[in-house]
């Protein structure tokens, strides 16, 4: 970034589905992507802890404007839960604070998982980025301070035992916003009377991307060197597929992108957010529909967010 100026780089707009390796932070992955692509702007679609791996979608350019609209979506994980020890971080990077207990069998584990299905209350790990008294909880935890975080309501849409080998259970989880898989492993162990921690975590689905769409940083680097970045780049609105779409005529598009409200024939679209495409079929804005009735398909459309790459 130049002194007192804007960050320099290429105007690249869209999403990359990066497969993050274990041992690297999400922030570092974003930095690597910016270095490889030379994109002017980049941001990730939901943090993965350093010990975790799997999907880490990266927004480039104008696609970063979609982040505020998608971070509450569902996520899917494969969790490897190690019974026999609980750590202060609830993962393999921490210090063991409880150990022992009888290792539960697969039937006991499968039966206990039902307790965590649906809307539940969960106490986040002390080693987390939650703010408490003006600082991150992990900062207090690293100093050895004693404190308790308030429980939070989270949603677990699906949870099931895939397999169990020895003291390690492989559990598939589909969750909503704010769910900590580390805390889930901790709480499962406590419920079964055997200390446990999350030994390994793989994120398999998020923001509509699936694991088979993910590419490594090494592969991305190779594609960029071969001038094939476009093959890895997903459209900006890929993460907004659940939002209705309208293609505008020339006059309506000109008015909307200049901030004017227009009446549109929005048959099949309810009031609320809508994706707007320009006359050539390129995604260019998010609008807000209001007014009209069930019998009248016309809705008043006002500009919510403009994407300047269109």
* Boundary-marking domain end, from 189, 217, 238: 238
Q: Say if residue 90 is in the same domain as residue 178.
A: yes
Q: Is 278 a catalytic residue?
A: no
Non-local CB neighbours of 56 within 8 Å, separated by 6+ positions: 18, 19, 20, 26, 29, 44, 45, 46, 48, 203
Q: Say if residue 93 is in the same domain as residue 166.
A: yes
pLDDT tens for the chain, 310 residues: list them.
333 345 578 999 999 999 999 999 999 999 999 999 999 999 999 899 999 999 999 999 999 999 888 767 899 999 999 999 999 999 999 999 999 999 999 999 999 999 999 999 999 998 888 888 888 888 888 888 888 889 999 999 999 999 999 999 999 999 999 999 999 999 999 999 999 999 999 999 999 999 999 999 999 999 999 999 999 999 999 999 889 999 999 999 999 999 999 999 887 777 889 999 999 999 999 999 997 655 667 889 999 999 987 5
Q: Say if residue 224 is in the same domain as residue 187.
A: no
Q: Say if residue 106 is in the same domain as residue 188.
A: yes
Residue 5 within a domain: no
Residue 199 is part of which domain span?
75-205
User: Quick check: 146 and 154 in contact, CB under 8 A?
Assistant: no
Residue of 21, 49, 237, 265 marked catalytic: 49
User: CB atoms < 10 A from the CB of 307, how many?
Assistant: 20
Question: Dihedral of the CA atoms 31, 34, 36, 40 (nearest 10)?
Answer: -160
Non-local CB neighbours of 70 within 8 Å, separated by 6+ positions: 45, 207, 239, 240
Residue 8 within a domain: no
Residues 228-281: tens digit of each pLDDT: 999 999 999 999 988 999 999 999 999 999 999 999 988 777 788 999 999 999
Q: Say if residue 164 is in the same domain as residue 79.
A: yes
Residue 62 within a domain: yes
Q: Please state, in angstroms and as integers, the Cα–Cα distance from residue 45 to each residue in 28, 48, 70, following that order.
A: 14, 10, 8
Q: Say if residue 83 is in the same domain as residue 190.
A: yes
Residue 137 within a domain: yes
Residue 131 within a domain: yes
Residue 274 within a domain: yes
Residue 7 within a domain: no
Q: Say if residue 228 is in the same domain as residue 297.
A: no
Q: Say if residue 230 is in the same domain as residue 113.
A: no
Q: Say if residue 296 is in the same domain as residue 234.
A: no
Measured distance CA(79)–CA(172) in Å, rounded: 6
Q: Shortest CA distance to 13 belongs to which of 231, 207, 233?
A: 233
- Kindly report the pTM of this predicted structure: 0.89
Q: Say if residue 201 is in the same domain as residue 89.
A: yes
Characterize the bridge pairing of strands 272-277 and 245-247. Answer: parallel
Q: Say if residue 100 is in the same domain as residue 184.
A: yes
CATH of residue 37's domain is 3.30.2350.10
Give the count of domains, the chain.
3
CATH of residue 289's domain is 2.30.130.10
Q: Say if residue 30 is in the same domain as residue 98.
A: no
Residue 12, both tokens: 């690249």
């Amino acid at each position: 970034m130049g002194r007192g100026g804007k960050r320099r780089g290429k105007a690249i707009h869209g999403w990359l589905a990066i497969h993050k390796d274990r041992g690297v932070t999400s922030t570092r992955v974003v930095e690597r992507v910016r270095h490889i692509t030379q994109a002017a702007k980049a941001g990730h679609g939901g943090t993965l802890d350093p010990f975790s791996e799997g999907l880490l979608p990266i927004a480039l350019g104008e696609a970063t404007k979609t982040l505020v609209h998608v971070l509450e979506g569902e996520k899917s994980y494969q969790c490897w839960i190690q019974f026999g020890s609980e750590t202060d971080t609830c993962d393999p990077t921490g210090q063991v604070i409880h150990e022992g207990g009888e290792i539960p069998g697969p039937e006991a584990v499968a039966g206990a998982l039902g307790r965590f299905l649906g809307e539940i209350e969960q106490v986040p790990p002390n080693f987390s980025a939650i703010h408490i008294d003006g600082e991150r909880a992990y900062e207090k935890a690293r100093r050895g301070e004693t404190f308790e975080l308030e429980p939070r309501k989270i949603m677990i849409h699906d949870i099931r035992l895939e397999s169990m080998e020895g003291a390690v259970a492989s559990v598939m989880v589909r969750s909503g916003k704010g769910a900590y898989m580390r805390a889930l492993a901790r709480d499962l162990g406590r419920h079964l009377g055997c200390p446990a921690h999350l030994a390994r975590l793989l994120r398999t689905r998020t923001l509509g991307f699936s694991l088979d769409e993910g590419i490594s940083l090494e592969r991305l680097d190779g594609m960029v060197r071969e001038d094939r970045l476009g093959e890895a780049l997903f459209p900006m609105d890929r993460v907004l597929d659940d939002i209705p779409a309208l293609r505008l005529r020339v006059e309506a598009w000109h008015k909307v992108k200049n901030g004017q409200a227009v009446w549109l024939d929005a048959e099949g679209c309810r009031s609320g957010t809508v994706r707007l495409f320009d006359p050539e079929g390129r995604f260019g804005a998010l609008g807000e529909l209001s007014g009209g009735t069930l019998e009248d398909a016309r809705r008043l459309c006002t500009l919510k967010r403009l994407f300047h790459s269109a």
